[in-house]
Amino acid sequence: MISYSSVEVEQSVLGAILLDGNEILTATREILDAEDFYIDVHRKIYLAMIDLAKADKPVDLTLTAEKLKEKKELSKIGGPLYLTELMSKTPISANVVYHARIVKDYSIKRQIVIKTIQWKQKLAEVGDSEMILREMQKELDVFRMSKSGNEYVALKDILEETLRELELLHETGGVSGIPTGFIDIDRHIGGLHGGELIIVAGRPGHGKSVFAKDLMLNCGVPSLLFSLEMSSTEYGKRQLSDLGRVDFKLLRLGLIGSDDWERIAKVCTEIAERNIFVIDEPYLDIYRIEAITSRAKSRENIGLVVIDYLQLVKTDRGRSREEEVAGVSKHLKNLARTLDIPVVCICQLNRQCETRNDKRPQLSDLRESGAIEQDADIVAALYRPEQYFEDVNIDMLFKGCSSKPASIDGYAEFNILKGRNVRVGTIPLTFQGQFQRFANYSKEQINVPF
């Protein structure tokens, strides 16, 4: 059986503290709790040292021995002789942080072993595998947080990183994140950034899934799609229609000409090189999404995650829908920050927008919007007026805008309704329904000011 402990490493940590005192103890306490020591004697010594530090007393051999004597534990740890032995086994304290992390790692491994036994027993008792999986994910998140610690960063180091980011912005024309492939969107938000939760909302039929597909084709990094509504084959057909410029309706019916086949064969190789991964399970809960994403990040170096769509993601049973959505959005934001990747989540709008004259979406149209609005860094809504109007007065529809499109045919908007680090505004796009894709809108067609 594997022993997840090292007496020698624990001794070196304690010996280093006895050699160099409070400064070393402070560094160690950022990593270790007393419970992390496997040897009970070492826990007692470490607690005595902490007691001294809390009392603003020096941590050295003499005072540590006195504190243990006061607690009637000196003889239990082997007396002053054992403390002296700890110091003799630690010639220098320079490696104490490294050694402390080893002790922490062993501690986490022991806890995982214990939890695994408990989960196995509970599974035998209750038989609810989904409940056990949720509990396992929560416990593993706690382990991850305890291992990462709470290290602080000097402001000068933050400023150095900030300057590097500003230089990158200057070199790339303001796009420091992963490109969306849409020029005006990238100019407006600077691309998609690690740690951000981006909500892309819309009513049915306005192209939310198409936009998600476009992001993954355009981003240039390995990406992962959780498609809870559309099958992977349907998603694949949209990719082929887009890149191969094959009429989507004909493609779905198999009415493909020889020229179409040639283009399809060519783009299949191109799509394979994009490193896009798809999960099309319709009943995924947030804990499985977290687990799959963490594994994909480790194995494939995923740089973008897209979830289609938020309201279909499950959480704990027995909660109201508003609580479920709040839980999902919080988990997704934490996932983005933990893995330092952008998470784009498609979201349904309620019917409220359709009661307005122009049908344009607003932030309040988000279903169960409170938690989503709070957790998201960017909330945007897709809007295609041709879904509502056939013969419309352009002047009335775009009242208040200094410029407007000549026609609403193929006209779409990416409306930024909330931005933590970007301003709100309207960005025009072209929707090419024949090929199931969005494209940049040329200045000849539209010049809506942002």
Active-site choice (139, 229, 373, 386): 229
Contact 201/415 with Cβ under 8 angstroms?
A: no
Contacts 24+ apart (CB under 8 A), 253-256: none
How far apart CA 38 and CA 91 sit, in angstroms, is 22
Helix (H) or strand (E) holding 111: helix 96-126
Q: How far apart are CA 329 and CA 376, in angstroms?
A: 8
Amino acid residing at 22? N
Q: Is 427 helix (H, G, I), strand (E, B) or coil?
A: strand
- 55, two tokens: 């009392």
Residue 285 near residue 314 (C-beta atoms within 8 A): yes
CA-closest candidate to residue 88, choices 182, 18, 174 = 18
CA distance 3 to 304: 38
The upper half-sphere exposure of residue 209, i.e. CA atoms within 13 Å in the direction of its Cβ, equals 20
Report d(CA 216, CA 60) in Å as an integer: 58
Q: Known catalytic residue: 229?
A: yes
Rounded to an integer, what distance in angstroms lies between the CA atom of residue 58 and that of residue 72? 20
Give the bridge partners for 305, in sequence order.
224, 343
Half-sphere exposure of 420 (CA within 13 A, CB side): 14
CA dist list (Å): 252 to 57, 213, 237, 246, 259: 77, 17, 7, 10, 16
Measured distance between the N- and C-terminal CA atoms of the chain, rounded to whole angstroms? 65
Which tokens in the block code for residue 284? Answer: 């995924």
Neighbours of 199 (CB within 10 A): 26
Other beta carbons within 10 angstroms of residue 98's beta carbon come to 11
CA atoms within 13 A on the CB side of 411: 23
For residue 404, give the 3-state DSSP assignment: coil
Which residues carry out catalysis?
A: 229
